[in-house]
Amino acid sequence: MKTYTIAVLPGDGIGPEVMAEAEKVLAKIAGKYDLSFNFTPADVGGIAIDRHGKALPEDTVETCRKADAVLFGSVGGPKWETLPPEEQPERGALLPLRKIFGLFANLRPAIVFPQLKEASPLKAGIIGEGFDVMVVRELTGGIYFGQPKGNDGVKGFDTMVYTADEIERIGRLAFETARRRNSRLVSIDKANVLSTMVLWRQVITKLGAEYPDVSLSHMYVDNAAMQLVRNPRQFDVMLCGNMFGDILSDEASMITGSLGMLPSASLAEASEGELPFGLYEPSGGSAPDIAGQGIANPIAQILSAGMLLKYSLGLDKAYDDIYAAIEGVLDEGYRTADIMSPGMKQIGTGEMGDRIAGKI
């Protein structure tokens, strides 16, 4: 029997609540495909600060290193917001993890399940027959990591830096992704103002010549934010730098009805013929406003586990099973509070997880 080791980092807030549901679903997948998952838990974020004095203990990095892939919950919360910024869960754990493991490519699919059209804040006419966009976000460069950065109480500054190589690397992945979908790629930039983004547009345009079958267009980020609510169906793959991708992926997710629906895959470069190492997490955060109430939507975490199976382990059919199970539960009218609409049956985090696992 094949055994896969999955580092499980639930983190803070709703992280542990939704992670428990993803583990239930993975256990069912293991049974169905005669595999075994060795879940290796580790502390990360606020809970790691409380227990070990730092957001990313070395043991946690080691646990990830030994694993085939990482399933991550979310980190952060009001309790740790008064710490020095570099020590807080987000900058002290999540960003270093992305850097340490070279997770340069962040895939954030935003899909409106047909059953949830009424949960989208957009009018039915705008959503039409559905919405299915893949945001490809560069994750280890840009203004998040550029130096210098600082804040001396009088002046605060960050630096946006991209090299041509970094742009080309994420660009290639976006073109390949578009090729496997509907061959439409919109590259998002701010080339009318930022020098970094002038380079971005030059590199992507040049790369486009290698992918003549993919229709490439460029759009300024402010326009893209507007177009996403005006006519989201015009998009197939959206390629963004780190910060623009952060913002637009939250916006895209809300079109699907809730941030609690949106998974993500953060991938490293793969060696020839191999699948990439990856960290899989919901796009949303630790949702302190609803943590501990058993009402969080576990679907983003469950879909993140599904993406892990597909992208890092090559178990595409298992991903399809998870997707179908979610659709089945939604078809039966079950909803967590965030995607609730009149006439549907409201259930909590645990029951949603049980019902999805029950359909595998």
Active-site residue among 2, 32, 206, 222?
222
Query: Does residue 236 interact with Mg ion by CB under 5 A?
Result: no
Based on the residue annotation, tell me whether 33 is a catalytic residue of this protein.
Answer: no
Q: Identify which of residues 239 and 325 has a Cβ nearer to ligand IPM in the complex.
A: 239
H or E stretch at 278:
strand 278-280
To the query of whether residue 149 is one of the catalytic residues in this protein, the response is: no
Residue 321 interacting entry, from ligand IPM, Mg ion, ligand NAD, none, C-beta within 5 to 8 Å by type: none
Q: Is residue 59 annotated as involved in ligand binding?
A: no
**Please, which residue, 141 or 260, has the CB nearer to ligand NAD?**
260
Alpha helices in 109-214 (DSSP H): 124-127, 164-180, 195-208
Out of 24, 28, 117, 190, the active site residue is 190
Alpha helix (H) residue ranges in 209-338: 221-230, 242-255, 299-311, 316-331
Please report the DSSP string for 251-266 in residue order.
HHHHHTT-GGG---EE
Burial 54-70 (b: 16+ CB within 10 A, else e): ebbbeebbebbeebbbb
| 3-state SS assignment for residue 111 | strand
Q: State the nearest-atom distance from the C-beta of 224 to Mg ion, in Å.
A: 16
CB neighbour class for 2 (10 Å; exposed up to 12, middle 13-18, buried from 19): exposed
Catalytic, 144? Answer yes
Binding-site ranges for ligand NAD (CB under 6 A): 14, 18, 74-77, 90, 94, 258-260, 281, 284-290, 296-297, 300, 338
For ligand IPM, which is the closer residue by CB, 120 or 283?
A: 283
Measured torsion, CA atoms of residues 94, 100, 105, 108, in degrees rounded to the nearest 10: -20
88 among annotated binding-site residues: yes
Q: How far apart are CA 200 and CA 239, in angstroms?
A: 11
Long-range contacts of the stretch 292-296 (C-beta < 8 A, 24+) = 292/17, 294/17, 294/348, 294/349, 294/350, 295/336, 295/337, 295/348, 295/349, 296/14, 296/17, 296/18, 296/260, 296/336, 296/338, 296/349
Catalytic residue flag (residue 24): no
Give min distance, CB of 250 to Mg ion, in A. 6
Specify the stretch interacting with Mg ion by CB under 5 A; choose among 181-189, 199-207, 239-247, 299-307. 239-247
Q: Which residue from 189, 246, 321, 338 is in contact with ligand IPM, where contact means CB under 6 A?
A: 246
How far is Cα 314 from Cα 194, in angstroms, rounded to an integer? Answer: 39
* Footprint of ligand IPM on 114-143 (CB under 6 A): none
Any contact of residue 94 with ligand IPM (CB under 6 A)?
yes
Closer of 106 and 115 to ligand IPM (Cβ): 106
**Separation CA 80–CA 258 (nearest Å):** 25
- Our answer to whether residue 117 is catalytic in this structure is no
CB of 144 to Mg ion, least distance (A): 11
Using CB under 6 A, which of 283, 297, 312, 349 touches ligand IPM? 283
Collapsing DSSP states into helix, strand and coil, what is residue 45? Answer: coil
Give 30 or 94: the residue with its C-beta nearer to ligand IPM: 94
Instruction: Just list the catalytic residues.
Output: 144, 190, 222, 246, 250
What residues form the annotated binding site?
Answer: 77-90, 98, 108, 137, 222, 246, 250, 285-297
Contact footprint for ligand IPM (CB under 6 A): 90, 94-95, 246, 283
What residues form the annotated binding site for NAD(+)?
Answer: 77-90, 285-297
Contact footprint for Mg ion (CB under 5 A): 246
